[in-house]
Structure 1
């Protein structure tokens, strides 16, 4: 027996075609940069602007400690006054690519007794049941210092120490704990980070607003200090982190594609110490390799090509036998002071060198 076609079966092909057309018309186009490039990765979160992502694995989860960008209506300048961040928010995820949680305010600048403004790029650490948040900010005299706050939770709230770390200055703390159990803080940043004003051992407000402008002399060095047992102070005076070329000579101030600018980050792999950093005004992430946490570190190459936006600030973490690079760009805002954190996988060549990442798709 043959069934007579109904109105529904007669119109079914039309409905399928119409549905396909509707699906195609509502598919969002792939985001592109102002010059038409496709982004390699998408922002971790879109509800707030976060930058300078310091990632750590605690209790089998990924926690990201970024700076929290806000729009204060301040024009861009070389000293970074437009970066008027005033609190910290922690991000967390169970796995790369999974949902990202934005946690409540971990601490506000008003809760840091010694600080006045500009809570810039932080870092975090864990030891003996306590989580530590390391925070650069301007003190009451406008000088950048680095303080610490503690919590029993990786997401806070954190309680700040009454005073900054003794002997600390400049910006961008990064705390690395070696397999020996010793922890070290790497820090420093030129231009708005004020490192050039400490070149003679004490703060000189007349030392200049950028670097020392001595292109034919060794570049300004980032600093390193071993941390005390309680993780709240330096156990020794800070010393220079020397970055050298293939011949073992210090990189020069004029070598803008390779010299240190800001954003130190240390990790260890296969017994080697990888000191990574931003070149600043040339917008690369670079790395140098050494045999101990103090260096010297031999310049080896770039990690990440320039992103959309002025700054590059990153972290690198291993999660379940894979390595990940966290970085930021200005995809969502097209404004240098409103940035978005991203992540992408980091891969190594057989000789331990890092494969260069392009933040845009080919």
Structure 2
């Protein structure tokens, strides 16, 4: 059986009843964040064979339901001197009064900086933050977690999950301090958050072109690990017409213990590993802090940020 076939054989009723994507057209690898009184999504621009996209966009929302196209925030061939295409899986972090935008380009990882969450973002180093071939596996899928004490940690890599503490400037680190781990089932798309003093490392399993693409997680008492995988079930996986649900990010509603997961799936209908769309679902925990399986058919209700987290 070919697991990388496109999804093209659904009935009209299946398509009508399918959960609706939050962004129009095809976007993948969404990084969702809350800044001020708005939510933002930073996705991969999808729709090209081999994922050969050349720009990044930003979307904003006041309620998680209605999303506004902001603009192209980085045109890589114009804005980056060391890369031209294969622009994937960005991430955003806030520190020092600035927004730091981490992105994959030509299988390197770069970092750009802006005073606003919508950019413009300037490639601050003029060279990759993590160079292609530096470690085993692909140097893609950056994610930066900023802890309560202001310490920031970079997670990245396909094949292995690499972890390193960033310097206070957010754009440099000690390469001799990189930790490389490979949790059971790990492939790519790492994401870290903290809840009730516990660190959650999440990642995608299988290949993004595979309908079985899904999300698992592990926990630790430290952002550097060691991490213990939660066994028994994926946190996120497809069901029925929903295929290839993965490469996610997580956002907490400021001031509440209320969480949502953003992710991509094969476009419905006629999607595949190069034609994916962005969705959001509620993410719940049990009393012991275990993440419950996400219902990919549950609709997100409008939610607004009260006050400001800045």
Band of TM-score, shorter chain? 0.7 to 0.9
Q: Which residue does the alignment assign to 1:63?
A: 40
1:173 and 2:142 are equivalent in the alignment: yes
CA RMSD of aligned residues (A): 2.2
**Alignment partner of 1:290 out of 204, 220, 228:** 220
Q: Which residue does the alignment assign to 1:52?
A: 29
- Structure with the higher fraction of residues in helix conformation: 1
**Alignment partner of 2:260 out of 318, 324, 328:** 324
Deviation of 1:328 (Å): 1.0
1:306 and 2:238 are equivalent in the alignment: yes
Deviation of 1:60 (Å): 2.5
Deviation of 1:137 (Å): 1.1
Q: Which residue does the alignment assign to 2:116?
A: 153
- SS at structure 1 position matched to 2:230: strand
Q: Which residue does the alignment assign to 1:96?
A: 64
- SS at structure 2 position matched to 1:225: strand
The structure with higher relative contact order (CA 8 Å, sep 6+) is 2
- SS at structure 2 position matched to 1:102: strand
Deviation of 1:84 (Å): 1.1
Q: Which residue does the alignment assign to 1:117?
A: 85
- Label 1:241 to 1:155 Cα distance change in 2 as closer, same or farther (>3 A): same
Instruction: Give the total of aligned pairs.
Output: 270
What does 1:271-286 align with in structure 2 at a 5 Å threshold?
A: 271-281=197-207, 282-286=212-216
1:87 and 2:55 are equivalent in the alignment: yes
Unaligned runs of 5+ in 2: 1-7, 299-310
What does 1:225-304 align with in structure 2 at a 5 Å threshold?
A: 225-237=164-176, 238-241=178-181, 243=183, 251=184, 259-281=185-207, 282-301=212-231, 302-304=234-236
Indicate if the aligned counterparts of 1:176 and 1:266 stay in contact, CA closer than 8 A: yes
Which structure has the bigger radius of gyration?
1
Indicate if the aligned counterparts of 2:100 and 2:113 stay in contact, CA closer than 8 A: yes
Indicate if the aligned counterparts of 1:316 and 1:323 stay in contact, CA closer than 8 A: yes
- Label 1:39 to 1:269 Cα distance change in 2 as closer, same or farther (>3 A): farther
